[in-house]
Amino acid sequence: MLEIGIPAALLVLLSVGFALWTRARVAAQVAAAAHDLAAGLGHDAELASSLDPDDVTARVLDAAAALPGADAALLILDGRAAAIGLSDQEVERAAHETPPNTNLRSMEVVYRYRLDEVEGSNLPRAALVVPLRTAQGAIGSLSAVTRAKPPAFPPEAADMLEALAQRAGPALRNAQRFVEATELAELDSLTGLANRRVFHELLQREVARSRRYGRRLALIVLDLDDFKRINDRLGHLAGDAVLADVAARIRGCVRSTDIGCRVGGDEFAVILPESTRGDADHLAARIERAVSSEPIAKAGTLKISAGVAELSPDDTSTDLFERADEDLYRTKAAAKQRGRGHAG
């Protein structure tokens, strides 16, 4: 048997070299895996197709749940939780047991249960947690959750989850800002109701939907009585305050399914999906009472007139709006006629 002697110093050198090579290889694998998992979540050019917060959230959760050792994932953003692979009860418990993690790179949380809960169960056992950060600071956390017994994540999982979180934080915040900017562009800045452009787009959409599914649709058009006199007497700033107050009273009357809008000037509208003319008449009366029941700032007690229409089989969105508008002007003309009669 031939024995070859290898100096101890050479053995040490070979061992160190092999360790460094292995570490570099693992690091490269981690980087490649993290890139694949987080593809499209970190660069402005890639975010063009990922500006829906729900879509970005789903992609981040899918990537986290695909990490080695993970069976599920939990994302907490601005205090709100979203998850994949967890029941609603598990999400609630895991979110409650996820500690703030703004200074650490990562942490592992082990879940403890009562004995009667653990028997024969497949409950989440542990979570690897990393913070979600933007340039402005921490905005939440991302967790990879395991149901394994005993719970264990491979060493590279923390690096991969951290790499994912580094891309996910800015992507999620960008998506939120995009939605906020879109909403601002769709809202009337004075009243907070949908603006004129959005009103006509939504009315067209609801008409098409009503036709497709054979559902009812009604529309209310509202107009403040003698609003020009308020502007002339009190000025436009006071007039703006009146419009904002009236809009708040309209919002207080409509259902969650109704769509309140400012069509222009002192004219408002409410779209009522799946509603009849009778439903619209009832809501219009509620709005009229809400506006006239209490004085509005310096303007005093005001009245608002309403016109109502229900979608007919051959109506376009323009037809429906014009019929409601015509009904409004008939209502206003009748009110003026009654006023002249009383004066006489």
Tell me the catalytic residues.
266
| Residue 83 DSSP label | E
| Segment holding 15, helix H or strand E | helix 8-37
Q: How many CB atoms lie within 10 A of CB 20?
A: 10
Inter-residue contact 111 to 99 (CB < 8 Å): no
Q: Which of 219, 214, 204, 222 is nearest to 310 (CA)?
A: 219
The Cα–Cα gap between 140 and 81 comes to 9
Q: Is the dihedral of CA 312, 315, 321, 322 positive or negative?
A: negative
| Segment holding 218, helix H or strand E | strand 217-224
Q: Is the dihedral of CA 116, 118, 119, 121 positive or negative?
A: positive
Tokens of 227: 């609003």
Q: Which residues pair with 133 in a beta bridge?
A: 138
Q: How many CB atoms lie within 10 A of CB 62?
A: 13
Examine residue 150 and say whether the peptide bond preceding it is cis (omega within 30 degrees of 0): yes
CA distances for 288 relative to 272, 283, 302, 328, 337, angstroms: 17, 9, 9, 13, 19
Number of H helices, E strands in the chain: 11, 9
Q: Which residues pair with 223 in a beta bridge?
A: 267, 305
Residue 33: strand, helix, or coil = helix
Please compute, for residue 223, the number of CA atoms within 13 A of its CA located in the half-sphere on the CB side.
19
